[in-house]
Amino acid sequence: MSTTYNFCAGPAMLPQAVMKKAQGELLDWNGLGTSVMEISHRSKEFIALTDQAETDLRELMSIPENYHVLFMHGGGRGQFSAVVNNFLGENGKALYLVSGSWSRSAVDEAIKLTSDAQIDTLDLLVNDNGISAVSIPELAGKATDYRYLHYCPNETVDGIEIVEEINCPWPIVADMSSNIMSREIDVSKFGLIYAGAQKNIGPSGLSIVIVRDDMLKMPSLPQSSIMDYRLAVKHGSMYNTPPTFAWYLAAEVFKWLKVSGGVAAMAKTNAKKAELLYDFIDGSDFYNNTVSAQNRSLMNVIFYLENEDNNADFLAEASRAGLVALKGHRSVGGMRASIYNAMPIEGVEKLVEFMKGFADKYQA
Ligand SMILES: *Cc1c(COP(=O)(O)O)cnc(C)c1O
């Protein structure tokens, strides 16, 4: 079988070593004679797995002790409503920063669940001659007492990443679905971090929530028990049956990250991978990227062919070369190469080589 490099934005490729290990122990996990998905989530073997997963994640992200780590249902979007229902109560207010399509979706959900007066939004996107950038205004002086500020540091669809720290007097809630563990961050700067698993952690359906314990004192709205952070803490993320197979694979990804040098090593390779691709795009008049240099995502590299008539040929030839899922999101068009932690640098090298060859062949 020739190597396929999968650039899908999500569910994304998983580390090959993890997939092979899972394959090898699919029918007989841990000497139990059954697969990990056929055992009780309350068995001592499964609890050992979840304990190890939490320990590993805490180590990988240097999560302080006053934070809870939760493994929940419902992916990224599940958290759009969970955050509102857990923290806003009847009259609490929240500020939502909008920097692209996912942060916009988070606001829409928040507005749907609250009264008009509870949600304020700030649009951060500026467009200068077709180049988008994020501009963060001074927030410290704002008088409103928000329960939290919500933002999305990596906009998966738009290829926009916010690297600079947000300075504000309110707890920060961050949707890190597509850049968790791609670079080092200081968890203590956040009130809550959440991430749907299927970009940088494991299979879809699972979401990781890292929440500071004082956040759980905020008044909540009536809500479904399975999305209640307090219940999740109380029951060790097992108020109901958790997505056990996804949890197992996430645990394996954490182990893989640790033996691969942890988040610092990932960050280094991720920067190299992205540089390779952006440098090539910038040096070519066949392809272009429309995001300002300081906001270019390390995880999702969007690019356009100057002549969009070649899009279909590009995708078909790339696919034949073993480079799959490069089509951009339907809302923005063009191409997108998602190069999460699991994408080896060889995949990006092969993509650049292909793009060069394609440009040479199709250049007018
Ligand atoms: C993929 C993604 C989501 C949505 O995840 P689902 O699991 O499909 O709900 C939310 N936010 C960001 C930043 C994402 O990349």
Considering only residues 278 and 117, tell me which one the structure prediction assigns the higher pLDDT. Answer: 278
102 appears as a binding residue in the annotation: yes
In this predicted model, what pLDDT tens digit does every residue of 20-71 receive, in sequence order?
999 999 999 999 999 999 999 999 999 999 999 999 999 999 999 999 999 9
Other CB atoms closer than 10 Å to residue 256's CB: what's the count? 18
Q: Is pLDDT at 297 greater than 80 in this prediction?
A: yes
CA of 98 to the centre of ligand 1 (A): 15
Residue appearing with tokens 């190890």: 52
In this predicted model, what pLDDT tens digit does every residue of 112-153 receive, in sequence order?
999 879 999 999 999 989 999 999 999 987 778 999 999 999
Specify the pLDDT at position 144.
Answer: 83
Question: 10 CB under 6 A from ligand 1?
Answer: yes
Which CATH code fits 27-259?
A: 3.40.640.10
Per mean pLDDT, which range of 137-151, 227-241, 268-282 is the poorest? Answer: 137-151
Comma-separated ranges of CATH 3.90.1150.10 domains in the chain = 261-362
What sign does the CA torsion over 41, 45, 46, 50 have? positive
- The verdict on whether 247 is a catalytic residue reads no
Closest CA to 97 of 157, 10, 207, 173: 173
Average pLDDT in the 8-22 region? 97
In this predicted model, what pLDDT tens digit does every residue of 176-233 receive, in sequence order?
999 999 999 999 999 999 999 999 999 999 999 999 999 999 999 989 999 999 999 9
- Rounded alpha-carbon distances, angstroms, from residue 250 to 20, 181, 243, 300, 308: 14, 13, 11, 21, 38
Specify the pLDDT at position 115.
Answer: 85
Average pLDDT in the 299-324 region? 97
Comma-separated ranges of CATH 3.40.640.10 domains in the chain = 27-259
Specify the pLDDT at position 103.
Answer: 98
* Separation between Cα atoms, residue 331 and residue 291, nearest integer Å: 16
Specify the pLDDT at position 143.
Answer: 78
In this predicted model, what pLDDT tens digit does every residue of 55-111 receive, in sequence order?
999 999 999 999 999 999 999 999 999 999 999 999 999 999 999 999 999 999 999
Contact (Cβ atoms closer than 8 angstroms) between residue 350 and residue 276: no
Question: 159 CB under 6 A from ligand 1?
Answer: no
The catalytically annotated residue of 199, 228, 273, 327 is 199
Q: HEC profile for the chain?
A: CCCCEECCCCCCCCCHHHHHHHHHCCCCCCCCCCCHHHCCCCCHHHHHHHHHHHHHHHHHHCCCCCEEEEEEECHHHHHHHHHHHHHCCCCCCEEEEECCHHHHHHHHHHHHHCCHHHEEEEECEEEECCEEEECCCCCCCCCCCCCEEEECCEECCCCEECCCCCCCCCCEEEECCCCCCCCCCCHHHCCEEEEECCCCCCCCCEEEEEEEHHHHHCCCCCCCHHHCHHHHHHCCCCCCCCCHHHHHHHHHHHHHHHHCCHHHHHHHHHHHHHHHHHHHHHCCCCEECCECHHHECCCEEEEEECCHHHHHHHHHHHHHCCEECCECCCCCCCEEEECCCCCCHHHHHHHHHHHHHHHHHHCC
Burial class for 136, CB neighbours closer than 10 Å (0-12, 13-18, 19+): middle
Phi-psi region of 227 (alpha: psi -120 to 50; beta: other; left: phi over 0): alpha
Instruction: Report the first-to-last Cα separation within the chain, whole angstroms.
Output: 35
CATH architecture, domain defined by 261-362: Alpha-Beta Complex (3.90)
* Separation between Cα atoms, residue 348 and residue 209, nearest integer Å: 30
Ligand 1: which of 77, 160, 332 to mutate, most ligand atoms within 8 Å of CB? Answer: 77
Atom of ligand 1 nearest to the CA of 75: 7
Average pLDDT in the 283-311 region? 97
130 appears as a binding residue in the annotation: no
CA of 7 to the centre of ligand 1 (A): 16
Specify the pLDDT at position 116.
Answer: 78
CA of 336 to the centre of ligand 1 (A): 16
Which residues, other chains included, contact 90 with Cβ-Cβ below 8 Å and sequence gap of 6+?
A: 219, 221
Q: Is pLDDT at 1 greater than 70 in this prediction?
A: no
Contact (Cβ atoms closer than 8 angstroms) between residue 277 and residue 354: no
In this predicted model, what pLDDT tens digit does every residue of 316-363 receive, in sequence order?
999 999 999 999 999 999 999 999 999 999 999 999 999 999 999 998
Closest CA to 176 of 158, 149, 197, 191: 197
